[in-house]
Structure 1
Amino acid sequence: MHFNGIQIDRQLITALAERWRKETHCFNFREGEATITLKDVAILTHLPIDGKPVCVSDHPPEDCDGMPGWHHFIHSHLGVKVPVKGCVDATDRMPPLRKHQVSITWLTKYFRNHYESHPLTEESPEDEKERYARVYLIGMIGGVFFSKKASNLLSCGWLRIIFSSWEEMGEYSWASACLAMIYHNLCNASLKAVREVSGAMFIVQFWAWEHMPWLAPAQRPDRDWPIDHPLRGEAYEAR
């Protein structure tokens, strides 16, 4: 598992999950308890702390133009006509939209193919650039920050936020939502019968590297990142 070139240490995440106590939302170490704070998440990700709570609903919009609600919703914002029934081709195992969940893999593949034939340029229409930006956000939200074990799927409820105005999207407390998701996933992973964990585990790993530096790699990975990379340097300065 990788994030921006950083390999997720599965053994480290497993060891931390085994020491997580869902009653207190803390890691239980020999030296005492410790936990990931909201400030840690804000420093590591630059996500805003203040703002509205992030709440999503899978309740579909009304059907329109002969298309089911979510199919029309995606088509009106991305210009993509999602097949109502069946798979797109033989390589797909399931329809791109089912049970109020959209396939991130299918959506990014569609835009990747479109980009190869119609690459973006400075002269490209603004609405075209915006559609690519929205798809990128779908991948980040569904595949990185709020991913499930089936990271290929994103609940359509997220689309109401992702397709809102840029100003409105910045009014949410994204760091709080991300921390809550981390707590939720660690609580699930701490159960004896669970063998996998999802979500933003790169934050958990960076937090462990900072607070337990003997676990961090000898070669700091951020040295190879661009000077303006949001995690350069600060990934090791959370308190």
Structure 2
Amino acid sequence: MEPRPIDRSLLRHQGNHVSEKIWTGNERMIRPRHRRRLSMVHEIDSRIRALIDNAGFGHAFEIGDSNIDHHLITALVERWRPETHTFHFPYGEVTITLQDVALQLGLPIDGEVVTGYSSSNWKEVCSLLLGHSPPENDMLGGKVNLTWLENTFEFLPPDATDEVIAQHARAHILLLLGGLLLPDTSGSRVHLMYLQNLVDLPAAQNYSWGSPV
């Protein structure tokens, strides 16, 4: 049985594709990185949650933690073709669309582009928008450890001002971005460049967050 596509003019990367390894007996289980967010929904202070909802991330926080089916993920990767950006199934091709992102995550897919500068004095940015500056060992370039965010913003003081509540809301959204929506290959850090889109929290819902996700 010939496992390769008959017409290689389009699927030209078959020689390096994971399905090639299956037929040569070198298949391996894929284990995606998965990270628990700062808090479950019911543990987030209602004052913080109100700002998160206004920023357009409320539905994404409802997702909670979920178990990953490694066998299913492995099977999907085996069916994914980088040449066409689609899954090749026996009944045809399918792919993830912006509509899927909007329906499942509740993120806006219309609006302003999520873009901006990727270099800055991030310690000053953190002090201004988060109220805290991470130590050197918790930063790598413009990225900050999610653990530092978790530990620093775990509890909101009862007498917190509006500014402090907003700082905690931004930290929670960063944790959501780095831990679930836009994780990097480290699985433990998030880039602080997203803070520039969270300066005005109500205005954050005007960005098309679903597009980069």
- TM-score (norm: length of structure 1): 0.59
How many Å separate the matches in 1 of 2:166 and 2:202? 14
- The separation in 1 between residues aligned to 2:66 and 2:179, in whole angstroms, is 15
State the 1:149 CA deviation: 2.3
Aligned to 1:182: none
Pairwise CA distance, 1:107: 1.9
Q: Could you tell me how far 1:144 is from its partner in structure 2?
A: 0.5
The AA in structure 2 aligned to 1:139 is L
Alignment TM-score, normalising by the size of structure 2: 0.66
Q: Which amino acid aligns with 2:153?
A: F
1:156 Cα deviation after fit: 2.3
1:44 aligns with 2:104: yes
Q: Which runs of 4+ in 1 moved over 2 A?
A: 81-84
Given candidates 199, 202, 206, the residue that maps to 1:171 is: 206
Q: Unaligned stretches of 5+ in structure 1?
A: 61-68, 85-94, 179-239
Question: Following the alignment from structure 2 to structure 1, what is the Cα–Cα distance between the partners of residues 67 and 135?
Answer: 35
Q: Gaps (5+ residues) in structure 2?
A: 1-33, 37-62
CA drift at 1:103: 1.1
- 1:56 shift after superposition: 4.0
2:22 maps to what in 1? none
| Identity over aligned pairs, percent | 32
Find the residue that maps to 1:174 and give its secondary structure: coil
CA offset at residue 10 of structure 1? 1.4
* Mapping for residues 9-28 of structure 1, pairs under 5 Å: 9-28=69-88
Return the alpha-carbon distance in structure 2 between the equivalents of residues 41 and 82 of structure 1.
32
Residue identity in the other structure for 2:117: S
CA contact (8 A) 2:170 2:195 kept: no
Match of 1:133 in 2: 169
Q: Which residue of 1 aligns with 2:94?
A: 34
Matched residues, number:
153
**Alignment-derived partner of residue 77 in structure 1:** 129
- Aligned-partner Cα distance in 2 for 1:5–1:96: 25
User: Do structure 1's residue 104 and structure 2's residue 156 form an aligned pair?
Assistant: no
CA RMSD of aligned residues (A): 1.8
Once the two structures are TM-superposed, the CA of residue 82 in structure 1 deviates from its matched residue by 2.5
User: One-letter code of the match for 2:190?
Assistant: L
Distance 1:51 1:6, change over 3 A: same
Could you tell me which amino acid in structure 2 is paired with residue 101 of structure 1? K
Q: Deviations over 1:175-194 (max 9, x none)?
A: 1221xxxxxxxxxxxxxxxx
Q: Which residue of 2 aligns with 1:221?
A: none
Q: 2:149·2:175 contact (CA, 8 Å) conserved in 1? A: no
